[in-house]
Structure 1
Amino acid sequence: MKRFLASLIFTLGLSSIATAAPLSADQFTKVFAKELKKAQPAINLTVKGDLLLIIKDPDGKETTTFLNNAYSQYLLDPTAVDEILKKYITSFVEATGKSAPLERTRIVPIIKDRNWIAEIKESVKQRGSKQAPENVYEDFNEELVILYAEDTPTNITYFAPKSLDEIGISRKQLRTLSVANLTRLIPKPQVDAGPLVSMITVGGNYEASLLLFDDLWTNLSKANGEIVVAVPARDLLMFTGSRNQQGLTKLRELATKYAKESPYHLTDKLFVYRNGHFARFE
């Protein structure tokens, strides 16, 4: 596998696809499909629409692959197309090559906008696929859900309910288990305090998931009232106090901006930490 990945990286590095004008969603999908087919000649690959691939492996297992995140990242820097293709195709190859059971110590929680679930199902329906991919998730609040994934050294992969059954983990265990795993896997949260808005960082992938860390929020100062947070993207977590009117104004402004601009956008809504739970802040 390592030899193949090295070859793939070399191949993609040679075939520069950068153009003066950004690729359309249709063009990007076709380029991605072509490079993925080069990387895995044995798969049966069908382009079902813009940013949607249906992939069937030699054993007949069918996978629905969405390219939305890859394309959003590409649009931010079209000159990095080779690097982006390399990253996502390598990730796909490693994920599909995985045959070992789900690793319980690597199960992590990922905060998603509730609309993400609906959009995935609707997108599959509109583009002609018979069945949406199965994921394991639960409600977090009226706007957000917790999606469960396996975090390996090279991938973050969503899994189906049957993967839990295979290793004997119940849905009731998931949140506690995944938060404990994530606590171990990520750096210690760093709080960068500001007069209006403060930020918490943990390396760039799991900032939004820190909403699940109750100890973090109960230990923060409440001098300016209740804690109000924004998670406009998976890697952005900002907060202020409910009595800090200038801070609230700034927080709304930042949430609106980054929910539109980030390739891993979530929501522009604000949430208040109250009675051990994050609820919509009006």
Structure 2
Amino acid sequence: MLIVSGANGKLGRGVVEQLLKRIPAEQIGVSVRDVSQAQDLKERGVRVRHGDFAQAESLMNAFEGASQVLLVSTGILGSAGIRQHQTAIDTAKNSGAKRVLYTSHMGSSSTSYFPPMVHHAATEELLKESGMHHTSLRNGFYASSLVGLIGDAIKTGELIVPEDGPVAWTAHSDLTQATAVILTEKNWDGPSPNLTASEAIDMEGVAAMVSDIVGRPIYRKVVTDEAYRAYLTAQGFPEIRIAITLGLFHASRNGDFAQTSNALADLIGRPPLTLRDFLKESLAL
């Protein structure tokens, strides 16, 4: 049985939907914190069980009978998040699963300026230390994150951001399809190739795209990191989110998210969704 954690989230649910196109529902199980939100999956024949990364007992039940477990990152940073990932990995091993797959990131690095990348790198180390067969899915940077960075630029005509670098913005829909293929057809050990869209685009390019889509000028305004911090603070963003966002721009300036690969296209059998098409679909105009 293939077990997908976090199946009430965007990525986990998308993977389950893709698996349902490839294998019988009775071969799929999900681990979710709120089983009521996964009732529709249960009605379609998927095994739905409560599982919480902070509660090993619940995970043992959720992972019962697993051949492979997909661990979707909790997004909780720092020691608390790492402890939860350690619990999930240990429980997957104790349940008898033969392989663990983890939703990592193309920029995974213990020295990254972007805190989530340090978190991913630490989890990849836990997977190595577990002794289990494992695959770290080096996902491209989620394009959905870009919508928040664009913010009010469509209304104001100004995309206010610090100096940046190209990013391989990648759609969830493509990554979920690729993950389903990997779960059912591949036995990669260690980090996967970078699973990215075919192009890396900086914020100058994003502003030009948005301008074309909305039919009016959107200008990129480059500000210092300090000025951007003040800009976000004035909008009421909490300090932790400001620090993470500034870290994203610092890491992109280092080129951490600029590399692209054909691996995603090869897995899904078609070109990945372009950023332009993603923005056309995603921006509320």
> What is the TM-score when the length of structure 2 is the normalising length?
0.29
Give the number of the structure whose residues are more often strand, by fraction. Answer: 1
Give the number of the structure whose residues are more often helix, by fraction. Answer: 2
> What is the TM-score when the length of structure 1 is the normalising length?
0.29
Bigger relative CO (Cα 8 Å, ≥ 6 apart): 2
